[in-house]
Chain A
Amino acid sequence: MIKLLIAEDHQMVRAGLRALLEKAGDIEVVGEASNGQEAVLLTQKLAPHVLVMDIRMPILNGIQAAERIRGLKLPVNIVLLSMFSDEGLVHQALKSGAKGYVLKSAASEELLWAVRAAHRGETFLSGPVSAIVVDQALNPRMTGTSPDPFDNLSPREKEILQLIAEEHTSSEIGSMLAVSEKTVEKHRAHLMEKLGAKNLAGLVRLAVKYGLVDRETP
């Protein structure tokens, strides 16, 4: 038997989930929590094998509760339930250590598969959710940096590099670009890091090399 805890703030849904899960035959519902905090406490107390938990809940939401449970190193596998298949939610949910992500509209057979998979320590995701994950894997976030460090500079950094090379002070540059002196300093530090310059003279030399200023410019 799979010992299971349900965490769901909506009473009707909780009752429905209990009926659905108990009907499966191989699952025993050992408790019900109505918010994230309660879910953490009951997980500690009842030591279920699997926790089925709604993401949107009061006090602690499902993702926060999952993170806390992972922090406490409790030996439970978590299946998160959500109305949404939002990318950010999916990403955070999986990062929180959840084994399953099931959409509420698919709460039936799919949920049972997810619970059994989680019990075996495997991952199960609803169709639309796995589509997102696959898409994320196939088209990873594009961070590609160019081999030429100059291409990696943002327009603002290029502008600031040029103004530095033209011998403007940080406060002058700040008022020209309507940003604070502190922001200019920050950009300058970024520039030195990105371009591998050790000091201002290095930056100026690179600005000349990239053609941002003429050699003759005073």
Chain B
Amino acid sequence: MNSIILIVDDDPSSRFTLESILEGQDYSLYVAEDGKRALEQAEALKPDLILMDVMMPGMDGFEVCRRIRATPALAEAPILLLTALDDNASRLRGIEAGADDFLTKPIDRQELRARVRTITRLNRYRTLLEQRESLREMAQKLVTAQELERQRISRELHDELGQALTAHLIGLRLLQTDFSSQDSALHERLEPLILDTVDILNRMRQLAQDLRPPAVDTLDLPSALDSFCQEYSRRLHLPILFEAEPLPSVSDVIAITLYRFLQEALTNVARHAQATRVWVDLSTEDQSVSLTVQDNGQGFQENSHMSGIGIQGMRERLTIAGGSLTLRSAPGRGTVITASLPISATEAK
């Protein structure tokens, strides 16, 4: 996409000169003949550069500059002011008004082209960075919203449906006890109903548990991680040494992100590492919390099959949460994978 340049000058011949200098260089050029139109055009176009004469009747270039800076959508738009030669007073006023750069009249063609190119490129890059950052923020919001939704559904399943079903089950069992002495046929007929209810309750519990590990909600983070390590260690007959530093209480997002990271990292160890020992460390430092999983397994050539073991997905999830992932491995030397999350970025609940 071409960079948009807005030329503001009251003098038709200098507008023409500026246009002709910049023509044919992949810019989309627009012109405004006074300050008022310049503001309207700028708001509509969101230009990558505003090239503006200082001396204009009515609203002068300084005033336009100030107003542009006061408009939130345009506050970052680069402004290049055209001033008379060696007019230091104008430059000072221009800086105060928020101009980014100055060019003296009469205009040197080469210099104008070079300056415009530099500014528009920088502006493109800055816009790109901004867009990337806002994308990351959006992704984070989305993931947080998804996590909250999972939690909400899991709670609803457990606290409402599960409890109602439990009460229902107790009622059925009481009913069955009542019938047992009087009517053994009815007692018998209630049995499959009760077993079905238990089955529904179990399936619902499994669903709630998959959506949200109950340990994260009931235990503090170190205990929840430790109990997961224990369970895994026994299931795989693999020693997992868990160590945790005293931890300030962390937000729910951090807790669940680290819990899921541990699940994935240990699954990777089980599938690929052929390790005989695993170390899991939870530590904090300068407003960040890190979880490191190390194994003494076969390791791998970094970059060789990192995508194959879901590292990319893990990295993405951590990046979205504002954190980072580091990985070190070498054939025969095990693997060290660390997830770090800022404690301050996601405010503690």
Query: CB within 8 Å of B: which residues of A?
Result: 10, 12-13, 15-17, 19-20, 23, 55-56, 61, 63, 83-84, 86-89, 91-92, 104-108, 135-136, 139-144, 151-152, 154-156, 158-159, 177-180, 182-183, 186
Contact = CB atoms under 8 A, between A and B. Distances in A.
B167 A108 contact: no
Contacts of A89: 214-215, 218-219
Contact of A155 (B174, B230, B296): B296
A84 B209 contact: yes
Of A15, A92, A105, A180, most buried by chain B (CB within 10 Å of CB) is A105
A12 to B, nearest CB: 4
A12 B160 CA distance: 10
A178 B333 CA distance: 18
B170 interface: yes
Contacts of B233: 141-142
B167 A16 contact: yes
Contact of B294 (A20, A84, A156, A178): A156
B223 interface: yes
Contact of A144 (B213, B218, B239, B334): B239
Contacts of A86: 209, 213-215, 227
Nearest to B163: A10
Contacts of B328: 155-156, 159, 177
A186 B240 CA distance: 20
A83 B162 contact: yes
Q: For chain A, what secondary structure do more than half of its interface residues adopt (helix, strand, loop), or is it mixed?
A: helix
B142 interface: no
Given A105-B205, A108-B170, A141-B234, 19 more contacts: A12-B163, A13-B163, A13-B167, A23-B174, A23-B177, A56-B158, A83-B162, A88-B219, A88-B227, A108-B169, A108-B173, A141-B240, A142-B233, A144-B239, A154-B279, A154-B334, A154-B336, A155-B334, A178-B326
Pairs A-B, 8 closest by C-beta atoms: A88-B227, A16-B170, A155-B334, A12-B167, A142-B239, A10-B163, A88-B215, A108-B173
A186 B245 CA distance: 12
Contacts of A158: 333
B241 interface: yes
Contacts of B336: 154-156, 159
A53 to B, nearest CB: 13
Nearest to B162: A83
Of B205, B240, B326, B328, most buried by chain A (CB within 10 Å of CB) is B205
B228 interface: yes
A142 B208 contact: no
B285 A87 contact: no
A63 B219 CA distance: 9
B164 interface: yes
Q: For chain B, what secondary structure do more than half of its interface residues adopt (helix, strand, loop), or is it mixed?
A: helix
A182 B158 CA distance: 43
A92 B223 contact: yes
Contacts of B223: 88, 92
A198 B60 CA distance: 77
Contact of B239 (A15, A16, A63, A143): A143
A105 B217 CA distance: 20
Interface string B197-233: 0100110010011000111011100011011101101
B295 interface: yes
Given A84-B205, A141-B230, A154 B163 contact: no
B170 A107 contact: yes
A156 B215 contact: no
Interface in B132-191: 158-159, 162-164, 166-167, 169-171, 173-174, 177
Contacts of B228: 88
Nearest to A106: B198
A87 B226 CA distance: 11
A10 B227 CA distance: 28
Contact of B227 (A91, A151, A178): A91
Contacts of B295: 155
A177 B330 CA distance: 13
B120 interface: no
Of A10, A154, A183, most buried by chain B (CB within 10 Å of CB) is A154
Nearest to B238: A142
B174 A104 contact: no
Contacts of B83: none
Contacts of A12: 163-164, 167
Nearest to B173: A108
A179 B296 CA distance: 20
Interface in B281-295: 283, 285-286, 292, 294-295
A136 B223 CA distance: 16
Contacts of B226: 88
Nearest to B235: A139
A56 B228 CA distance: 19
B174 A19 contact: yes
Given A13-B166, A86-B213, A180 B174 contact: no
Nearest to A81: B166
B173 A105 contact: no
Contacts of B198: 105-106
Interface in B307-336: 326, 328, 333-336
